[in-house]
């Protein structure tokens, strides 16, 4: 039997799927290599500029969580076969100061010349992605979208909000779309970074990065 999440009340919710020509399994394998090499820390790339909402979340919770759910719809064509893929090489924190990305972190995305910015959540987990997904599956956690509102504005989530900082309010008789929670992680300093310095990378190089990094350790 599926159960709705009981906590936290405020958190970051992000949905994931095929992106930048990389399948979910490719992305999770690469992120697991990064997590293991960085002592639990991994950078999760997102397209939303949620910095102000992250600051509000930190005011309400000094140990916030990120909940990850798979996207239900089929991947878009430009996510499966993007015209260009880049690796982001520079970052700055919420305070506007430069932030040095760890050498084991690779953050990629499809590239839009009219949008030379990307963002990342700074996450940490003591368990592997495989164990985290197994634990979430056993707990059978789900998120009801109708119970979520944007933390800062109080408005319902828009359909284009792949990543949002939300507040959960249980409402009796609420009927809405529900999403599985695949895994959870802590949001850790510097919490959120704005990325820059895009460098072209092939999909093959991004997908093989995990295995090549393991060989280099």
Give the DSSP per-residue string, 95-160.
TS-EEPPPTT---EEE--TT---EEEEEEE-SS-HHHHHHHHHHHTEEEEGGGEEETTT-PBPPTT
User: Is pLDDT larger for residue 14 or for residue 140?
Assistant: 14
Query: What is the number of other CB atoms lying within 10 angstroms of the CB of residue 88?
Result: 27
Residues 123-141: what's their mean pLDDT? 79
Q: Read off φ and ψ for residue 16, nearest 5 degrees.
A: -130, 155
pLDDT of residue 217: 40
pLDDT exceeds cutoff 60 at 213: no
- Region 139-149: what's the mean pLDDT? 85
DSSP letter for each residue of 4-63:
E----SEEEEEEE--BTTB-HHHHHHHHHHHHHHTTTEEEEEESS--HHHHHHHHHH-SS
Q: Which range among 50-54, 94-98, 144-148, 189-193 shows the weakest confidence by mean pLDDT?
A: 144-148
The residue assigned the tokens 């064509």 is 77
pLDDT at position 176 over 80: no
Tokens encoding 84: 């260009």
Q: Check residue 1 and give its pLDDT.
A: 43
Q: What are phi and psi of 79, to 5 degrees?
A: -85, -35
Q: What is the pTM of this model?
A: 0.89
Give residue 215's pLDDT.
Answer: 43
Mean pLDDT along residues 29-34: 93
Place 2 in a pLDDT band, splitting at 50, 70 and 90.
very low
Residue 111 · residue 176 · CB < 8 Å: no
Band (pLDDT 50/70/90 cuts) for residue 7 is low
Q: What percent of the chain has pLDDT over 90?
A: 57
């Amino acid at each position: 039997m599926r159960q709705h999440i009981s906590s936290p009340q405020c958190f970051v919710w992000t949905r994931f799927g095929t992106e930048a020509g990389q399948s979910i399994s490719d992305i999770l394998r690469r992120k697991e290599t990064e997590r293991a090499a960085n002592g639990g820390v991994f950078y999760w790339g997102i397209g939303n500029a949620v910095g102000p909402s992250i600051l509000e979340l930190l005011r309400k919770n000094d140990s916030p969580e990120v909940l990850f759910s798979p996207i239900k719809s089929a991947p878009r064509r430009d996510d499966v076969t993007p015209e260009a893929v880049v690796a982001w090489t520079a970052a700055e924190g919420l305070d506007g100061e430069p932030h040095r990305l760890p050498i084991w972190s690779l953050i990629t995305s499809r590239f839009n010349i009219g949008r030379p910015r990307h963002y990342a959540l700074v996450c940490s987990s003591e368990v592997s992605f495989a164990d985290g997904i197994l634990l979430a599956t056993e707990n059978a956690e789900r998120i009801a979208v109708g119970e979520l509102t944007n933390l800062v504005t109080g408005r319902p989530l828009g359909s284009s909000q792949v990543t949002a900082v939300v507040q959960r309010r249980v409402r009796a008789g609420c009927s809405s779309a529900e999403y599985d929670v695949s895994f959870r992680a802590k949001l850790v300093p510097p919490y959120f970074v704005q990325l820059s310095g895009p460098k072209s990378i092939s999909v093959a190089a991004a997908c093989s990065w995990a295995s090549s990094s393991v060989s280099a350790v």
